[in-house]
Amino acid sequence: MTETASAPADIDDHPISRKMFADDVASKNLGITLDELGPGYARASMRITELMVNGHGITHGGYVFILADTAFALACNSHADAAVAARADIRFLRPTREGDVLVAESVERGRFGRNGIYDVTVRCGDDVVAEFRGDSRTFGGRAVGER
């Protein structure tokens, strides 16, 4: 189940995540794809382009963070209430380069009240290249920007 930011699949399956991703101009422009989505879970991927490489010839960490943050956002919005990030951090473990395909897998660790904790592992092939942890907070809406 791979889709681009502009082509959501069944909108009734996790509608908040799917609408958010369909409207995500940043993810669309970076070529991020949604590969799998389930309750409290998301997997997204992105190919590293020449525009994403820093002066050391490796992927700029900001792009790795964006991919991880996108998977986190999809997972924490897979429930009935819309959610936003309250906090996030990342540990970069290995460099990647132009042409590499990164895959971010987000897993819900727990939800309590309006809060959630999610871990995201970013891989390039079998190698773990980054670990991300995000805290979410629901705000009771159906999607950011809707009234």
- pLDDT 10s digits, 3-34: 444 334 444 588 999 999 999 999 999 999 99
Percentage of residues in the chain with pLDDT exceeding 70? 87
* pLDDT score of 7: 36
- Answer yes or no: is pLDDT of 95 > 70: yes
Burial class (CB in 10 A: 0-12, 13-18, 19+), 17: buried
Alpha-carbon separation of residue 146 from 6, 117, 139, 140 (angstroms): 19, 24, 12, 11
* Mean local confidence (pLDDT), 137-143: 74
Calpha distance 38→118 (Å, rounded): 14
| Residue 5 CB coordination number (10 Å) | 22
Q: Which two tokens stand for residue 109?
A: 């660790």
